[in-house]
Structure 1
Amino acid sequence: MTKNSPVSRMDELPIRDELRGKSPYGAPQLDVPVRLNTNENPYPLPEPLVRRIAERVTEAARHLNRYPDRDAIELRTALAAYLTRTAGHAVTTEQVWAANGSNEVIQQLLQTFGGPGRTALGFEPSYSMHALISRGTGTGWISGPRNDDFTIDVEAARAAIAEHRPDVVFVCSPNNPTGTAVEADTVLALYEAAQAARADTAGALVVVDEAYVEFSHHPSLLRLIEGRPNLVLSRTMSKAFGAAGLRLGYLAADPAVVDAVQLVRLPYHLSSVTQATALAALEHTDTLLGYVAQLKGERDRLVAELRALDCQVVASDANFVQFGLFDDAHAVWQAILDHGVLVRDNGVPGWLRVTAGTPAENDAFLDAVRAVLKERSLKENKR
């Protein structure tokens, strides 16, 4: 890297102190036959949906000289109907907000309820963007405790909340990268602790990130928002809907939260094309959730096969599996990559993560793991 390259010169810029020395979020995109590292849905959108998207986008294109619906009323109404149907709890349009991916939802929440002089707490390892967006909005970040099996230790979590009195608490269920789900009783305990810790104010916001909930054995925690004005559920269309390229996320919460985030949203933040595409996808919910059922079966097969290879596997409620334990996880990651399969090294000591792909992709991954374990065993025997 040269002295004058953009990366090397960044520290010479007058950037904020809390951003110095940090790295942007990213996963390596390498040109290999099988890529199972970014939790994407491996199935392309079905042709009838592609045609419907083209129809809706064509209609939207006729009006691109005008700004889009600023409040995305039609889309939010359709998302509310989807949640009501699939999560078993009725929500209204006024309780739903949509943005460019769940990351923008999280950013808007932190811009509204976090910021300079305020803090957010999450239980790591978890979705790294919670901490990154916190820093990006000037919100202090606190890493809360987890058990060795990656579940949340309720008493330790309560103690951390009482000690640090965060303004925002993140709970990821199913959790990324571990795949573990969080029980409703745990969320309720953390919510009560967060409100008690901030009893001298209007309480604390608790955000349950349900990006992978459609893949879970456990039901959505949507019902918990009833009567809890500081509880928010964050969702995405990137995973279950197979629409990672769409960039559409949304939240469900008390209508007052929806009103509050609009204080910081950019004008006309959701394009007409984005809204049209999302609406088309919601028309094909049944077909897309059929792919989810297939992926759940493949995920469970990965768990069973990896355990049969004497790997340790964290029980997964998502479309990915965390497996190990390895003395040198990065060396195993590289060895699997040498066999043409890209998985994710999240930096969790001893563990790697693989996304559930198509049956053929999963076969290739399992063959690679078998080969790597055999190679490592032969090396150990030669010592």
Structure 2
Amino acid sequence: MIPYGRQDIRQDDIDAVVDVLRSDFLTQGPAVQRFEVAVASAAGATHAVAVNSATSALHVACIALGLGPGDILWTSPVTFVASANCARYCGAGVDFVDIDPATGNMCPARLEEKLERAALAGRLPKIIVPVHLGGLSCDMAAIGALAKRHGVRIIEDASHAIGGSHRGEPVGNCRFSDITVFSFHPVKIVTTGEGGAAVTNDAALASHMARLRSHGITRDPELMTHSPDGPWYYQQRELGWNYRMTDLQAALGHAQIARLTDYVARRNALAERYDSILEAMPVARPGRHKDSRSAFHLYVVRVPAGQHRRVFEGLRDAGIGVNLHYIPVHLQPYYRDLGFSGGEFPEAERYYAEAISLPLFPTMTEATQDEVAGVLAGLLDR
């Protein structure tokens, strides 16, 4: 089976993890801080807080921005459920903004219309979570301007997009947002096994998220309600969680992120080659944005809706592990039970009826890519 994504583990990665196994710290040691510095540098941000998953990063980001009962978070319907679930963890409501069919990302025009209506109704969201689908940045300049106009905070869900850029600057620099979240799952651009990070330029937000990932506990005397009882002292200032990343994971991530530029370059080269091979086929290739360079975590094509299931199953039957990213969140039973229904976000539902993620990973050979394209061509009606 040719997978849609695959990690690339090299001897440097193994050596880095073994070094930690032979050290004094398997968790809560120096490897995590080294990794955080590397992530912040790659993103062009001031601070990074490493956690055990991007879902955890979204959760602590929402809490740090004050999301709670009575508030609303808006995100894209075409995303993994975590982009919406993070609001529910905080007791907040969720709504969605339909996508731009050219990119699959949150549509700034639809967002503007929805914000204007919400402002008139006195029901603006507290947080907007644009999702950089497949590694392509949303139009953050436009989204950021709209959020600023209405006093709304932004968390970029860049789980797919570390190494990408927008307006010539790295995704994650938070020029148009408060916090950006990355994922380091094995099929992502770089991996820590499981893991994530939240990056920001706000020192107070970074400190708060770091406290939340470790039970809400601080050892900083300046953050305590009274002077420490002794050198052993700590205080739990609020309810937090155990969302810590281990030093084993961080060491793997630190070794991986050293190859970030090469990984993204290879993904882009493979995407450009797919573009060329598929040009004559009746499929829509991934959209681009003139101001952004995708990290190409995913290469998503759109086939005619009437052929979608047959082509998907035909590829799987041929040993090609295609996938579908994603089932629109508002169609999930949990969100239907909250009042959402089919037909509310038509572009997202049209995307779902047509999208297939083809295999794409840095170690993929051109021969494997030709095999994928050949099988796809044989399944499509002309």
- TM-score scaled by structure 2? 0.71
Task: Please say if 1:50 is aligned against 2:3.
Answer: no
Identify the match of residue 252 of structure 1 among 187, 195, 200.
200
Shift of 1:181: 2.5
Task: Please say if 1:279 is aligned against 2:251.
Answer: yes
Shift of 1:301: 1.5
Q: Which residue of 2 aligns with 1:363?
A: 370
State the number of aligned residues.
312
- Aligned-partner residue type, residue 339 of structure 1: A
Q: Which residue of 2 aligns with 1:104?
A: 56
Aligned sequence identity (%)? 12
- Does the Cα contact within 8 Å between 2:45 and 2:174 map onto a contact in 1? no
Identify the match of residue 284 of structure 2 among 289, 309, 312.
312
Task: Please say if 1:83 is aligned against 2:56.
Answer: no
The structure-2 alpha-carbon separation of the partners of 1:132 and 1:293, relative to structure 1 and needing over 3 Å to count, comes to same
Shift of 1:366: 1.3
Give matches, 1:227-376, under 5 Å. Answer: 231-238=178-185, 242-243=190-191, 245-262=193-210, 264-267=212-215, 269=242, 274-283=246-255, 285-315=257-287, 317=294, 318-328=296-306, 329-345=308-324, 346-347=326-327, 348-357=352-361, 358-359=364-365, 360-373=367-380, 376=381
Identify the match of residue 71 of structure 2 among 104, 114, 118.
118
- 1:309-363 CA distance string (max 9 Å, x none): 2311122522212212322322321121111112123341222222413124423
Partner-residue secondary structure (3-state), 1:121: strand
The structure-2 alpha-carbon separation of the partners of 1:123 and 1:194, relative to structure 1 and needing over 3 Å to count, comes to farther
The structure-2 alpha-carbon separation of the partners of 1:330 and 1:211, relative to structure 1 and needing over 3 Å to count, comes to same
Shift of 1:74: 5.5
- Does the Cα contact within 8 Å between 2:189 and 2:297 map onto a contact in 1? no
- 1:63-116 CA distance string (max 9 Å, x none): 56xxx43xx6752454234433x34x462xxx3211112111012223443232
- Aligned-partner residue type, residue 212 of structure 1: H
Q: Which residue of 2 aligns with 1:26?
A: none
The structure-2 alpha-carbon separation of the partners of 1:281 and 1:131, relative to structure 1 and needing over 3 Å to count, comes to closer
Shift of 1:129: 1.9
Give matches, 1:136-285, under 5 Å. Answer: 136-149=89-102, 150-162=104-116, 163=118, 164-173=123-132, 175-176=133-134, 180-195=136-151, 204-216=152-164, 218=166, 219-225=169-175, 231-238=178-185, 242-243=190-191, 245-262=193-210, 264-267=212-215, 269=242, 274-283=246-255, 285=257
What's the RMSD between the two structures over aligned residues? Answer: 2.9
The structure-2 alpha-carbon separation of the partners of 1:249 and 1:366, relative to structure 1 and needing over 3 Å to count, comes to same
Q: Which residue of 2 aligns with 1:27?
A: none
CA–CA distance in 2 between the matches of 1:233 and 1:335? Answer: 37
Partner-residue secondary structure (3-state), 1:142: strand
Shift of 1:240: 5.7
- Does the Cα contact within 8 Å between 1:314 and 1:322 map onto a contact in 2? yes
Gaps of at least 5 residues in structure 2 are 216-240, 289-293, 328-351
The structure-2 alpha-carbon separation of the partners of 1:270 and 1:263, relative to structure 1 and needing over 3 Å to count, comes to closer
CA–CA distance in 1 between the matches of 2:247 and 2:178? Answer: 26
The structure-2 alpha-carbon separation of the partners of 1:185 and 1:291, relative to structure 1 and needing over 3 Å to count, comes to closer
- TM-score scaled by structure 1? 0.71
- Does the Cα contact within 8 Å between 1:80 and 1:96 map onto a contact in 2? yes
CA–CA distance in 1 between the matches of 2:148 and 2:301? Answer: 33
